[in-house]
Structure 1
Amino acid sequence: MLINPFRRALRKSVRAYPKTVNAVKNRTPAGLNHLFKWMLPGLSVKRWLLISAFGVLFTSLGLAIWLDLTPVSRLMMLTRDFLRWITTVIPSHISGPLAIAFGLTLILWGQNRTFGAITDVLNPHGEEELVDMLHTRRRLNKGPKIVAIGGGTGLSTLLRGLKKYSGNITAVVTVADDGGSSGRLRREIGVLPPGDIRNCLAAFADEEKLLTELFQYRFKAGDGLMGHSFGNLFLTAMSEITGDLEQAVVASSKVLAIKGCVLPATLSDVKLWAKMADGRFVEGESRIPQAGGRIVDFGCYPHNPPALPAAVAALEKADFIIMGPGSLYTSVIPNLLVPEIRQAIANSSAPRIYVCNIMTQPGETDGYTVADHVKAIDRVCGEKLFDAVLVHQRSPSETALRRYSLEHSHPVYLDREEVAKLRRRAVLANIMDEDPDTGYVRHNHEKLAGLLIRWFSKAAGIQSKMAQSEIN
């Protein structure tokens, strides 16, 4: 008779647990709040402290047995006489609890000072408590294995938001850039273009703002240095030291304490080409958007470049695969021109989503709808690579629309029926930031990442239920 009420009370307590945690955080003093955090599950600290206590107990017991209890028994008798004397001065019902309280105080004080000393070493500036660092690290380490595919500023924006939800993120980046500083280094030194990789490394860093400013810094003077970014020169030097771009990125990640993993899609010297509707044939990543016109065919030299094995392995192990946002033909699709990359995506059972751009891009996607973006990827890959497409819902302001119209750019129109015919699900959300001064619009990295994680959780839950129903 008592079992059901007990179960109901237990379920009620479990449901109320998060609210209790928040209430304690909001209402308790800082010291008690700090102690309460150590009691929360998931840190894997309390169990080891308990094991240490048992270790002290058994060590003492073993020492007593080894010494045949002779000196130990005398010490126990002395302790017994002392305790009897204490109880004659202070009654046992008072002295007992006092001694227990004093002992617990010493234990907690000692442990607190121990963890404080560790915190001073790991975080000398005192910006974050050790318990908070452990909670964050545990949560990120348990996060889903995410692979984000793309290039340019769109991919780095996505990574900036995703790194708050998981520490198991791999960015697969295009290496087809041939303009600006990257293009110069590619022509003069023969290294693969480091620009997009540089942006992703900066997005992953803890000191993101400072590292981004450092990596984006461009020399304004100097024979041969002018126009080059520091980040490109850094990665180029690392490539020369380590032997190739893959090892350079690994070494740079260690030097900069990068949490995620950045991988080039291929180590081949890839050159993009596009065939226009008017018959023109344009070569070079930087020349394609400048050529104008509608792209009807797209590819690269060498044909079918080999994939980086680590990138394929990351896709095979991925729990969640994201493509975009970014320039359709010069940032997203170049990764899919690598056969092993697109085959790994097609074979994956993980939820897969494409993040569509907010605005059309002159020279690449003039007049493109959402379905046109999907068709372009399907046409190049020859198969369905993703299940859903994420589309920004709200239109930019009139000021932004006028600003973009001067550049012949317009919001990407969602043609729902065409997207449905392509067997894709359209996911609508408001994930845009608008600069009030310039009128430019960008994806908000926090909103974008939060929505993608929620969609993944829902999609993964549905897949799990379907798999369970098939087993049953």
Structure 2
Amino acid sequence: MSISYLKKAINLFRQESRNRTQYRVNQWFKWLSPGLSVKRWLLISAGGVILTALGLAIWIKLTPIFYAIQLIQQLVGAIANFLPNYVSGPLILLFGILLIFWGQTRTVGSITEVLRPEGDEELIDVLLTYRRLHRGPKIVVIGGGTGLSTLLRGLKSYSNNITAIVTVADDGGSSGRLRREIGVLPPGDIRNCLAALASEEKLLTELFQYRFTAGDGLTGHSFGNLFLTAMSDITGDLERAIAASSDVLAVKGQVLPATLSDMRLWAELADGRTIEGESNITEAGGSILKIGCLPPNPPALPRAVQAIEEADCIIIGPGSLYTSVIPNLLVPEIAAAIASRRKGGSKNPPVPCIYVCNIMTQPGETQGYTVSDHIRAIDNACGEKLFNAVLVHKTAPSPRSLKRYAQENSHPVYLDREVVSKLGRKIIIANVMDEDEVTGLVRHNPQRLAGVLLRWYSRAYA
């Protein structure tokens, strides 16, 4: 029995040894991957060594070099007496290559130990990921609320060149209180997007999202909202405050407000009422006929327009249709820039533009809406077509979730294919839903949603 255990232990040790060796060889060969900008510098370094040796030889008139070459020649001749040159040559060459790899590995290991003391990841893997993300497409995402931040969590795995253009029409909750009491633009949606795009800075992200539950005047406020408000006062405006916060959170990409104007929404309802304020529109519970903002035609943030003009792909939504998505498009320069990129021109080729439709209808905004109703609402608000495709979730939620949502007068958004096709939109259908087993809440899955969008972009861009 003891001998069988010993054999198993030896076999296990051999297997682990082979796995470690194979892993290390694979890590070495990763340094030869294209696009790393490593091989060229190694070749330049080798060329520098050769030139240095040549310069030294010329300087000292080759005398010591001549004797060194003679010594090496004698040594090589002695080796050739025991082994033929077609055996000894490759062996010495292989030994030299192994020494180079060993030296490079030890050097990189020493650097990694300093730069990444917790070092779960190899430096080469970090470098490969960085290069891949840095070469990713320039993606502009337009929206607000939890839908936008959900999408951003998935997209940051594919590209570092992400720009989130976020609405500043929010007037509820902590953002609304800060807006009324201090007069700042609402930071809530921007905070959520910054946290979603943050690198693996778990503690800082949790701190940014922390919400106070006690304290005179602090209850209900999030730390991130207060931080952005303070930074806006220190730096002079929200744009600079976001840039400073992005540095703190090591954000991948950038988050930009659609406008720096004090933008407030109004809506005309089917029953004749006119409601002002983003939070009041949803609470009114009516059917929205028209939506606008005060002041009308707010100026766009120039960097937001520039990001759209340089984009490879434009994504609108997901998010609350009338209070998260459309408010950005009420900024005329934003809508005009998207329309221009969709059509293309002499300076810029057309880029794929897609709308991510919500999975469920929203009481007070889109009750009873189909996919085509969502599309028409955006077209009517902007006066023209801004996207050429719409992404719709494929399957219905579970009966338990449907029952839960029905109690709130919310139902799955029905895909009326023929009407959507008549509106001139291509339909992309995919399973992009997550369903919470405890609460029954339905949300977009960040990774699946981002994956579908990137595959669609790759096909459309090709």
Would you say same fold, with TM above 0.5? yes
Which of residues 159, 162, 174 is equivalent to 1:166?
A: 159
Aligned match of 2:390: 389
Which of residues 268, 280, 295 is equivalent to 2:261?
A: 268
Instruction: Report how far residue 170 of structure 1 moved.
Output: 0.4
| Matched residue SS, 2:438 | coil
Aligned match of 2:238: 245
Aligned match of 2:45: 52
Between the aligned partners of 2:414 and 2:85, the Cα distance in structure 1 is 80
Between the aligned partners of 1:195 and 1:117, the Cα distance in structure 2 is 43
Aligned pair 1:368/2:361, yes or no? no
Code of the residue aligned with 1:54 in structure 2: it is G
Describe how 1:34-433 pairs up with structure 2 within 5 A: 34-87=27-80, 92=85, 95-207=88-200, 210-348=203-341, 349-433=350-434
Code of the residue aligned with 1:278 in structure 2: it is D
Code of the residue aligned with 1:160 in structure 2: it is R
Between the aligned partners of 1:110 and 1:27, the Cα distance in structure 2 is 18
1:409/1:209 CA distance change after superposition, 3 Å: farther
Between the aligned partners of 2:136 and 2:192, the Cα distance in structure 1 is 23
Aligned match of 1:20: none
Between the aligned partners of 1:102 and 1:27, the Cα distance in structure 2 is 20
| Matched residue SS, 2:279 | coil
Count of residues in correspondence between the two structures: 437
Between the aligned partners of 2:407 and 2:84, the Cα distance in structure 1 is 89
Code of the residue aligned with 1:370 in structure 2: it is V
Code of the residue aligned with 1:433 in structure 2: it is D
Between the aligned partners of 2:389 and 2:175, the Cα distance in structure 1 is 33
Between the aligned partners of 1:81 and 1:144, the Cα distance in structure 2 is 59
Between the aligned partners of 1:231 and 1:335, the Cα distance in structure 2 is 22
Residues 193-217 of structure 1: CA deviation (Å, up to 9, x unaligned): 1100111111111226544432221
Per mean C-alpha deviation after superposition, the further-off stretch among 149-158 and 50-59 is 50-59
Between the aligned partners of 2:335 and 2:204, the Cα distance in structure 1 is 32
Between the aligned partners of 1:105 and 1:345, the Cα distance in structure 2 is 55
Instruction: Report how far residue 251 of structure 1 moved.
Output: 1.1
Aligned match of 2:5: none
Instruction: Report how far residue 76 of structure 1 moved.
Output: 2.7
Instruction: Report how far residue 84 of structure 1 moved.
Output: 4.0
Contact 2:432 2:448 in 1 (8 A): yes
Residues 69-99 of structure 1: CA deviation (Å, up to 9, x unaligned): 1332233334334444555566655544443
Code of the residue aligned with 2:373 in structure 1: it is D
Contact 1:199 1:212 in 2 (8 A): no
Between the aligned partners of 2:64 and 2:256, the Cα distance in structure 1 is 65
Contact 2:201 2:249 in 1 (8 A): no
Code of the residue aligned with 1:426 in structure 2: it is I
Instruction: Report how far residue 331 of structure 1 moved.
Output: 0.3
Residues 253-310 of structure 1: CA deviation (Å, up to 9, x unaligned): 1122111110000000101111111111111111110001101111011110000000
Between the aligned partners of 1:147 and 1:166, the Cα distance in structure 2 is 11
Instruction: Report how far residue 35 of structure 1 moved.
Output: 1.6
Residues 114-139 of structure 1: CA deviation (Å, up to 9, x unaligned): 11122223322112111111111111
Per mean C-alpha deviation after superposition, the further-off stretch among 419-428 and 196-205 is 419-428
| Matched residue SS, 1:286 | helix
Between the aligned partners of 1:171 and 1:311, the Cα distance in structure 2 is 9
Contact 1:149 1:171 in 2 (8 A): yes
The percentage of counterpart residues that share the same residue type is 69
1:432/1:28 CA distance change after superposition, 3 Å: farther
Code of the residue aligned with 2:243 in structure 1: it is V
Per mean C-alpha deviation after superposition, the further-off stretch among 231-240 and 145-154 is 231-240
1:33/1:254 CA distance change after superposition, 3 Å: same
Contact 1:202 1:208 in 2 (8 A): no
Instruction: Report how far residue 314 of structure 1 moved.
Output: 0.2
Code of the residue aligned with 2:240 in structure 1: it is Q
Code of the residue aligned with 1:55 in structure 2: it is G
Query: Over the residues paired in the alignment, what is the CA RMSD in angstroms?
Result: 1.8
Code of the residue aligned with 1:404 in structure 2: it is Y
Code of the residue aligned with 2:352 in structure 1: it is P
1:417/1:207 CA distance change after superposition, 3 Å: same
Report the TM-score, using the length of structure 2 for normalisation.
Answer: 0.91
Instruction: Report how far residue 101 of structure 1 moved.
Output: 2.9
| Matched residue SS, 2:231 | helix
Residues 384-406 of structure 1: CA deviation (Å, up to 9, x unaligned): 10001111111111100110011
Code of the residue aligned with 1:225 in structure 2: it is L
| Matched residue SS, 1:34 | helix
Give unpaired runs (5+ residues) of structure 1: 1-24, 462-472
Residues 114-173 of structure 1: CA deviation (Å, up to 9, x unaligned): 111222233221121111111111111111110000000000000001111111110000
Between the aligned partners of 1:328 and 1:312, the Cα distance in structure 2 is 21
Per mean C-alpha deviation after superposition, the further-off stretch among 46-55 and 196-205 is 46-55
Code of the residue aligned with 1:51 in structure 2: it is I
Contact 2:178 2:186 in 1 (8 A): yes
Between the aligned partners of 2:103 and 2:21, the Cα distance in structure 1 is 22
